Amino acid sequence: MPESYVIETRGLLKRYGQQTVLDDVDLAIPAGAIGLLGPNGAGKSTFIKCLLQLQNKDAGTVSLLGNDIDAHGRETRKRIGYAPEQDCHIPGMAGCEYVTYCGELAGMPFEAARQRAHEMLDFVGMGQERYRKVDTYSTGMKQRVKIAQALVHDPDLVFLDEPTNGLDPKGQALILDLIERVWKETSISVVLSSHLLHDVDRICDRIVIIANGRVLAHDSLENLKKRRKAEAEIMITQDRERLVQAFQKRGWSYSSLHNGNLRVEHGETSLNPLLGMMREIGVSALEVRESPNALNELFNGITSGNGRSPADSPSPSPPQSSSSSPSSSSSKNAGEPPAFPETKQ
């Protein structure tokens, strides 16, 4: 079966008792850096766990890397890495021992797993800390070692669930830089699950937005940013009536907002006709803002509490083809980061 999509689901359904957590999820996602975006409790982690057979689905089909997981789940999971949101280390193990052990669990011989573990720990910037017990690590170091164990067996697809949780801005930036390099330097497809728009906007080229167990949008980041409603918000203190009369003359719908501004549906592809009309009638505004793009509009809608796509927002589109930072005085963070090592055959 050709691997045209790294993830494909049809009618995926998951319930906890009477609560539906995933509701008829249909997706076909090509390789790349994929953002799984939604508020906490949207169903993102459950979605990942159902894909990996860590939780049983109630209905639907799932294919990963071109393989039906019901028929080829164990074989397929050998080609997949996973860093869960919760800490997954084994108490009492040093970082290098833990990553080596994860390589062995994936089927690697001990010597190969140990060598690859050190290569991955170099890649994520772990220096002498690798010989300390993982229990003693900072939040940032634990996130790094989770990424190392997800990559140790050289997967084709890796799932990272909320990898920047608990980190300060510097630590978040370091982790995002690391994740970006995974896709760009190795062509390993990355699924980044996050409730932060900034995270997925920074490194992903395709986004799936989930809320209340439903897919609200699935498209490339570029397309979502291009799509916007043909309307504008105008901050004006004088000549308000004259401007409203001009809207009425042109048949443009308008409304007054709670902040006193005017919103007008001008129906044009840019603000130029609106600005030209205002110059023509001699009306000046303090500010004219175009409508938010589809990505921001959808995200603002789900985070405002309604959990639904705005009524006139685009429908789901089919796909187009910590407080302590992770660095410390002994880390190998100086200079350029190490290149992602090639797997030795």
Out of 225, 242, 268, a domain closes at 225
Q: What's residue 341's pLDDT? A: 59
Say if residue 219 is in the same domain as residue 239. no
Say if residue 241 is in the same domain as residue 169. no
Q: Which candidate, 153, 155, 124, 150, places its Cα nearest to that of 137?
A: 124
Say if residue 200 is in the same domain as residue 251. no
Q: Which residue has the tokens 């350029």?
A: 336
Say if residue 282 is in the same domain as residue 146. no
Say if residue 267 is in the same domain as residue 178. no
What's the number of domains the chain is made of? 2
Question: In a structure prediction context, what are the per-residue pLDDT tens digits for the chain, which is 345 residues long?
Answer: 345 899 999 999 999 999 999 999 999 999 999 999 998 888 999 999 999 999 999 999 999 999 999 999 999 999 999 999 988 888 899 999 999 999 999 999 999 999 999 999 999 999 999 999 999 999 999 999 999 999 999 999 999 999 998 888 888 999 999 999 998 888 899 999 999 888 898 899 999 999 899 998 899 988 887 776 788 889 988 888 999 999 999 999 988 888 889 989 888 877 888 898 999 999 888 888 877 666 777 777 766 654 444 433 333 334 443 333 333 333 333 344 455 555 543
Chain mean position to CA 338: 25
Q: What's residue 76's pLDDT? A: 95
- What is the C-alpha R_g of the chain? 24
Give a yes or no: residue 62 inside a domain.
yes
Residue 94 burial (C-beta neighbours within 10 Å; 0-12, 13-18, 19+): middle
What's the domain range around 250? 229-290
Give a yes or no: residue 142 inside a domain.
yes
Say if residue 43 is in the same domain as residue 81. yes
Q: What's residue 298's pLDDT? A: 73
CATH assignment of the domain containing 135: 3.40.50.300
Say if residue 60 is in the same domain as residue 184. yes
